[in-house]
Amino acid sequence: MDLNKSGSVEEAVFTAKVNSIRSLYTGDDKKVLISNIGELDQDKVNSISTLVETQMENLAVSKSAVKKIFNIVIETLQNICLHGEKDNNGYQMTYFIIGRVGNEFNIHSGNIITSAQAERLNKRLNAIKSLNDSDLKKQYMDVLSNGELSAKGGAGLGFLTIALKSGNNMDFEFEMLNKEYSLFSLHSKVSG
């Protein structure tokens, strides 16, 4: 997708979101480390995962932080692959950006979901955000031992994993694109 061309309302919202995130990482001690805009498949997930590992090693990030970041990256990318929808033109609009501010790593992602998915996901994520550390760990273990796979292959562990690895330091929003679709944006943070 050409982020500079003007097109549909969906593309305009998507482009504004990506540009807004990129603008957070201009200036001293701020940098976009990884950026992927557009279609996402398993090959790209593998490439991005390898790139994340390489970048973190080059930056001499602590092993514990690398593990947290890597887990969040994998869960985030898998969620996009499994649950991201295509727009009315058959295009899967997604973004994945890792930015660094000082010693903090910010993982941003966005993808199209249906309005019905947005409503369910909003409730689920708000429930996760309301949990304290021990309740979050308990729910994770409950889902891990009792979780059944959904029709798309997930057991509901992805967002719990992201919450655990980020210390429940994640934010999300839904921007309505049209009657059918919303842009789901997720932002999580890990100190390095």
Give tens-digit pLDDT for 75-85.
999 989 888 88
Q: Residue type for 87, please?
A: D
Is residue 182 predicted with pLDDT exceeding 80?
yes
* Tokens matching residue 121: 């996901």
Residue 87: CB partners within 8 Å, gap ≥ 6? 8, 10, 93, 112, 177, 181
Taking residues 118-142, report their average pLDDT: 92
**Is position 3 within any domain?**
no
**Is position 4 within any domain?**
no
Mean pLDDT over the full length of the chain: 87
Contact (Cβ atoms closer than 8 angstroms) between residue 173 and residue 109: no
Q: Can you give the pTM of this predicted structure?
A: 0.89
**Is position 175 within any domain?**
yes
Q: For residue 145, which phi and psi values (nearest 5 degrees)?
A: -85, -25
Task: Supply the range of the domain harboring residue 127.
Answer: 9-191
Q: What pLDDT score was predicted for residue 5?
A: 41
9: confidence class by pLDDT, cuts 50, 70, 90: confident
Is residue 143 predicted with pLDDT exceeding 60?
yes
* Tokens matching residue 182: 């919303």
Residue 62: CB partners within 8 Å, gap ≥ 6? 192
**Is position 52 within any domain?**
yes
Number of separate domains in the chain? 1
Is residue 177 predicted with pLDDT exceeding 90?
no
Taking residues 60-64, report their average pLDDT: 92
Structural Rg of the chain based on CA atoms: 16
Is residue 149 predicted with pLDDT exceeding 60?
no
Is residue 150 predicted with pLDDT exceeding 80?
no
Q: What pLDDT score was predicted for residue 172?
A: 96
Q: Smallest Cα–Cα separation from 61: which of 113, 100, 16?
A: 100
180: confidence class by pLDDT, cuts 50, 70, 90: confident
Residue 69 is part of a domain; what is its CATH number? 3.30.565.10
* Tokens matching residue 74: 């994998």
Place of tokens 């973190």: 56
Taking residues 41-52, report their average pLDDT: 92
Taking residues 140-151, report their average pLDDT: 71
CA distances from 45 to 72, 77, 143, 190 (A): 12, 6, 24, 20
Say how far apart CA 43 and CA 94 lie, in whole Å. 15
